[in-house]
Amino acid sequence: MSDVFNLVDDEDEFLLQDVDHAFMLSPPLPNVPGTTSEPPVLLATLPDAPKIRVIVRKRPLNKKELERAESDVLECDAAASCLYLNAPRVTVDLTPYIDRHSFRFDDVFDEHVDNDQLYERAIQPLVGTAFRGGKGTVFAYGQTGSGKTFTMSPLPLRTAADIFNIMAQPSHGGLSLHVSCYEIYGGKVFDLLNGRAKLEVREDGRRQVQVVGLREVAIGCLTVLQQLCDHSAAARSTGSTGANDESSRSHSILCFALRATSEPQKTLGKLSFIDLAGSERGADTYDNDKQTRLEGAEINKSLLALKECIRALDADARHIPFRGSKLTEVLRDSFVGKNARTVMIANVSPNSGSCEHTLNTLRYADRVKEIRKPGSADTASREQLVQQGPPQPAVVRQQPAPVVDVPTANARTSFVDASRPIARPANTVGGFPVGSAAATEAPAPAAPVAAVPSVRQQPATHFASAPTGNATRRQTASMFPEGQQEQAQAVGTTSAVTSAGRNELSSSIMAAEDDLITAHRHHIEECMGSVRDEMNLLANLDGSSAGGDIERYCRELSGLLAQKQASLAQLQLRLHTFQELWRTG
Ligand SMILES: Nc1ncnc2c1ncn2[C@@H]1O[C@H](COP(=O)(O)OP(=O)(O)OP(=O)(O)O)[C@@H](O)[C@H]1O
């Protein structure tokens, strides 16, 4: 059990018990919502949150991007919860064209949506979750500078305001609110309310994960919470990266616990707010010192593990890979259980210079939600979208010439999200367009879902329908024993899967297949970036007369080679996992 420091005696007086004076420095909060003048928040009116909700938030172009005359590549259709990314590309003959990618999420917030609106639409239901004895977890995911901290920092205050409001109602008395803040940096845990003390994570006798010695503060008003948040933000590790001078390299976690005031102070509900480290950190080709690379590897590992855990939870998988990283290990308790609710906020930058990172963020978010089980409300709305058919892209490829920038081959299907997860049309394979060029430019509307059972449940189908021209898929298909390929063909595209066990197996194979494809795509992106960087490196060397530059050349080449090795190793791991699953399945 964590130490509890009662900071607050009544609304105005602080009892400083071994807590930094920094908490006293901020001025009191003016007119904070949730104070007594606010109308009561009625618990009964807060809807139950869905188990997993993935939303996207776009920030506006900033001053520097406007000065550089960067274009806004993101188009939001909030009413349809759709987001379109118009990626500028060039063909080998240097003809520019737009590559349009389409996604659908549970909610899409454009640059005009403010923090209050976001809170009310996406986060407030979690307050109900906590009072009903559940656990809520909110993540902000995205590239450095995409708005994670901007989005996350007001949420605890708004949430606490509602919590205090409800606690002030006689029917919800006898509870107190406790806060703790910590950071995971390089796989280690640091207490942000206790001088960055290094903490150990252990399992107790009841197999509950405990962050041993984590300082927890009981709070009675928003002013103290604000001071604690300011203090923890200042204590958070920041450092400079190639992309952003103030980039966060750590995951920061703020936890609320609603406890009974009477002994033994049983915990009723929990809420966690997690501002994740910049998602691009593992692939930042400009940062090549060992420390930064190690940090990047750790961040990559934890973000991958996080995605895997959420996916496994959504699929009710028996094994959830919590041990994959420190982040998922410490969050295990918040994730599991019938009353656990998760909101993933994918933050995206609109500028053309961030296009590839934005695409990666959207794909990550898409993967988190894409295996939603049929029958859930969200799946139903996705099915509806499929039935209606994907919207025609406003801008399509103008030139059939070979493309220089290959990584987005998958996303050239006009409506990635609609065509892949629910009723993947027969002319797409793992999201890759197959067959005629027409399918690539504007796929025909998919047949109604009722008539086309989820192709995702038929892993073999993908290989059976692989186009002869698609080398990657041909090679993938050839990995499998002949019998299984025949079986795959026999399954066909429309036959229903009747056995529940087979369904479960199929969906895990499907997930592994998609992971492999995603990893492969990512690997290609990295290779392309790496080739560019290597050519620049050589050009710089050729262009310089000073012999001293060879040192820099060696250092940077060494960094690039290490990155290539890491990318290759990750792809090999995915391939191995998939092959194993296929063999044993
Ligand atoms: N929706 C928004 N509206 C207005 N400004 C925003 C919005 N989102 C972000 N910003 C601004 O963009 C800048 C970068 O945002 P922020 O620091 O939140 O990014 P981040 O993703 O947390 O970056 P890092 O990973 O480096 O911490 C900040 O100046 C912030 O005020």
Q: Is 153 in the pocket of ligand 1 (CB under 6 A)?
A: no
Residue list, annotated binding site for ATP: 142-149
- Element (H or E) spanning 98, and its range? strand 96-104
Tokens of 296: 């990047």
Distance between CA atoms of 579 and 573, rounded to whole angstroms? 10
H-assigned helices in 402-499: 416-419, 437-441, 459-464, 471-478, 482-491
Closest atom of ligand 1 to CA, residue 113: 1
Whole-number pLDDT of residue 224: 93
Coil vs helix vs strand at 254: strand
Q: Pairing between strand 135-142 and 267-275?
A: parallel
Q: Which residues contact 240 (CB under 8 A, 6 or more apart)?
A: 246, 247
Q: Is 115 in the pocket of ligand 1 (CB under 6 A)?
A: no
Distance between CA atoms of 338 and 333, rounded to whole angstroms? 12
- Choosing from 57, 112, 139, 149 the residue with most ligand 1 atoms within 8 A of its CB, the one to mutate for a pocket test is 149
Closest atom of ligand 1 to CA, residue 150: 18
Q: Which residues contact 189 (CB under 8 A, 6 or more apart)?
A: 182, 183, 198, 199, 200, 201, 211, 326, 330
Going from N- to C-terminal start, the domains of the chain cover: 3-25+48-60+111-371, 402-584
Q: Which of 384, 436, 444, 344 is nearest to 136 (CA)?
A: 344
Q: Is 347 in the pocket of ligand 1 (CB under 6 A)?
A: yes
Per-run averaged pLDDT (10 residues), the chain, 585 residues: 37 34 37 52 76 94 92 94 91 86 94 95 94 93 92 95 90 90 91 93 84 93 92 71 57 94 85 90 58 77 87 78 88 84 95 91 84 41 33 35 33 30 30 30 32 29 29 35 37 35 56 76 76 77 64 78 77 80 71
The upper half-sphere exposure of residue 103, i.e. CA atoms within 13 Å in the direction of its Cβ, equals 32
Whole-number pLDDT of residue 546: 53
The upper half-sphere exposure of residue 270, i.e. CA atoms within 13 Å in the direction of its Cβ, equals 19
Whole-number pLDDT of residue 451: 29
How far is ligand 1, taken at its centre, from the CA of residue 265, in Å? Answer: 38
Whole-number pLDDT of residue 573: 78
b/e code 199-228 from CB counts within 10 Å (16+ = b): bebeeeeeeebbbeebbbbbbbbbbbbbbb
Q: Pairing between strand 74-77 and 52-58?
A: unpaired
Beta carbons of 431 and 413 less than 8 angstroms apart: yes
Query: What count of residues does the chain have?
Result: 585
Residue list, annotated binding site: 142-149
Whole-number pLDDT of residue 341: 92
Beta carbons of 213 and 204 less than 8 angstroms apart: no
Model ipTM value? 0.98
Q: Is 58 in the pocket of ligand 1 (CB under 6 A)?
A: no
Coil vs helix vs strand at 32: coil
In DSSP terms, which residues pair with 86 in a beta bridge? 100
- Choosing from 150, 241, 284, 303 the residue with most ligand 1 atoms within 8 A of its CB, the one to mutate for a pocket test is 150
Q: Which of 249, 308, 285, 293 is nearest to 518 (CA)?
A: 308
How far is ligand 1, taken at its centre, from the CA of residue 460, in Å? Answer: 43
DSSP state of 463: H
Whole-number pLDDT of residue 152: 94
What are φ and ψ of residue 61, in 5° steps?
Answer: -65, 140
Q: Which of 87, 73, 100, 96 is nearest to 401 (CA)?
A: 96
Q: Is 350 in the pocket of ligand 1 (CB under 6 A)?
A: no
Residue 12 burial (10 A CB sphere; 0-12, 13-18, 19+)? exposed
Question: Nearest C-alpha to atom 15 of ligand 1 is from which residue?
Answer: 147
Query: Which superfamily does CATH assign the domain made up of 3-25+48-60+111-371 to?
Result: Kinesin motor domain (3.40.850.10)
Q: Which of 433, 344, 421, 429 is nearest to 383 (CA)?
A: 421
How far is ligand 1, taken at its centre, from the CA of residue 126, in Å? Answer: 24
